[in-house]
Amino acid sequence: MVGNGLVALVGIGALRVYTELAPQAVYGAASLVLGALVLGTQIILQPVAHTQLRYHSEALAEGRADSFTAEVLRWSLRGAAVLIVCSAIATGLWSLQDGAPAALPMFVATTVWFIVYAIYGAMLSRLHAEQQMLRFMGMRLGEAVLTVVATALLLGASLRPESFVFGRGVSHLLVLAVALLLVPWPVLALGRRCIRLLTGRPGGDQRVAQRFRERLWRYGAPFVPLSLLAWFAHTADRYILAAVLDVEAAGQYIPVFAIASAGFIIANGAVGDMFRPALFEAESADDHRGANRIFLSWLGSYAAISFVGLGALLFLHEWVALVTLAEPYREGAGILMIWIAGGYAISGFTMAFENRLFSLERSSSVLAPQVVGAVANVVLTFTLVQHSGLVGAAQGSCGSFVLQFIVTAAILWRALRARRPASA
């Protein structure tokens, strides 16, 4: 909890720095580009990460953790290669359309980010799966601090959207370099695999490779549409704002959105980091009653935190805007924060329900709720923005989270009822 709180404080401080340095149009354009990059990593790399989190404990118990990590790295780097090709096509089209001189630097920045993120993500997920929380939080905190420093320096040199992308790439690279000095196994595992490939020898543990591939397609593959739908559910509002109004309106909205949602995202992440590994471990051991107890503890912990957070924001939203945002970004921030915070408080429960379904190996079951959330966010936001502007975007986002929560809760209830006879 302390580590997540520090990460949250760094993130809040970062928003104040960014809004002081960058005008709304630059901040908005950068956020839209970063959102597209995040979409790519979620679609291509997150299925691998989810499979790693779900099954690493089994590999560790079998003494095959390093071979398992090597497979994760291999598939992650394959995904990074796909993303680099997509980035090359996108930046090439962008350059032809706009004649933008920064297309090449943007491509270089995204290439570095994708490669480094693939390795960095495998390291972070292994630490998480093994519950090495001190190292896990150290890497996250280091990344957060270095991102702010690198981005601020780059914005000081050039007030352009690509400065934000370069800042992310530099921070990942530096954190990875430091982490590899402390935890060298990812590089060693990858190096051993490369040597085997170059010498023509069989690559690694073939049993682990086959099982990981099977589990990736069975368990991880459903995360591809889920990631796409989650992206629409959580970020479509800013793109609709940019399309219906302009990029500057999106730049005005996005930092307020980040401030209002940050506390709940951090709280949900902290509680999830605390309970998720134990939940998956209990289900892997067929301890269904134990898994249910862990899940209820997860819900109770998050409920207490979110209740306090909502109450505090209701009374202190004007002060929060004053402290965290530069003066041009504060207009109308209070009402936006209340709507956004309400939506994300509800979303935290939805994410807990989803993880319970994941632990039951029913990842495809969350597809329907994600569809509901994505479609609702697009339809509600598009409709409400035309009538209420930025407030309409916040209301549409909140409404979509409510609908997604209801559908997810109903599906989980049915799944747990179906589980009872088997566990009796």
Tell me the average pLDDT of the chain: 83
Least Cα distance to 127 among 141, 115, 138 occurs for: 138
Q: What is the pLDDT of residue 198?
A: 42
Q: Cα–Cα distance between 157 and 267 in angstroms, integer?
A: 35
Tokens 């352009």 correspond to 160
At 169-196, the pLDDT tens digits run: 778 778 777 766 665 555 555 555 555 5
At 57-74, the pLDDT tens digits run: 888 887 878 888 888 888
Residue 417 three-state SS = helix
Q: What is the pLDDT of residue 364?
A: 75
Query: Worst-scoring range by mean pLDDT, 72-81, 204-213, 373-382?
Result: 204-213
The mean pLDDT value for 395-420 works out to 90
Which two tokens mark 144? Answer: 């957060």
Whether the full predicted model's pTM is greater than 0.85, yes or no, is: no
Query: Worst-scoring range by mean pLDDT, 180-184, 267-271, 305-309, 395-399?
Result: 180-184
Residue 3, pLDDT above cutoff 90: no
Q: What is the pLDDT of residue 203?
A: 52
Query: Worst-scoring range by mean pLDDT, 19-23, 84-88, 160-164, 339-343?
Result: 160-164
| DSSP letters spanning 138-193 | HHHHHHHHHHHHHHHHHHHH--STHHHHHHHHHHHHHHHHHHHHH--HHHHHHHHH
Helix pair 103-129, 162-182: axis angle to 10 deg: 40
The mean pLDDT value for 27-31 works out to 89
* Most confident stretch, 85-94, 214-223, 244-253: 244-253
Residue 197, pLDDT above cutoff 70: no
Contact present, 37 and 75 (Cβ < 8 Å): no
Q: What is the pLDDT of residue 199?
A: 46
Q: What is the pLDDT of residue 193?
A: 55
Least Cα distance to 334 among 262, 394, 402 occurs for: 394
- pLDDT class of 423 with cuts at 50, 70, 90: very low
Tell me the residue type at 93: L
Q: What is the pLDDT of residue 113?
A: 80
Residue 131 three-state SS = coil
Q: Cα–Cα distance between 2 and 17 in angstroms, integer?
A: 23
DSSP conformational letter for 421 = H
Contact present, 34 and 256 (Cβ < 8 Å): no
Q: Cα–Cα distance between 68 and 57 in angstroms, integer?
A: 10
The mean pLDDT value for 418-424 works out to 55
Q: Cα–Cα distance between 166 and 33 in angstroms, integer?
A: 12
At 112-157, the pLDDT tens digits run: 888 888 888 888 888 878 777 777 778 788 888 888 898 999 888 8
At 374-392, the pLDDT tens digits run: 999 999 999 999 999 999 9
For the chain, percent of residues with pLDDT exceeding 90:
28
Angle at 45 between CA 40 and CA 51, to 5 degrees: 145
Which two tokens mark 118? Answer: 């693939």
Sequence ranges of the domains in the chain:
1-221, 222-424
- pLDDT class of 250 with cuts at 50, 70, 90: very high
H helices of 183-246, where? 185-199, 206-215, 223-244
- pLDDT class of 301 with cuts at 50, 70, 90: very high
Q: Which helix (H) or strand (E) covers residue 350, if one does?
A: helix 333-359
Residue 420, pLDDT above cutoff 80: no
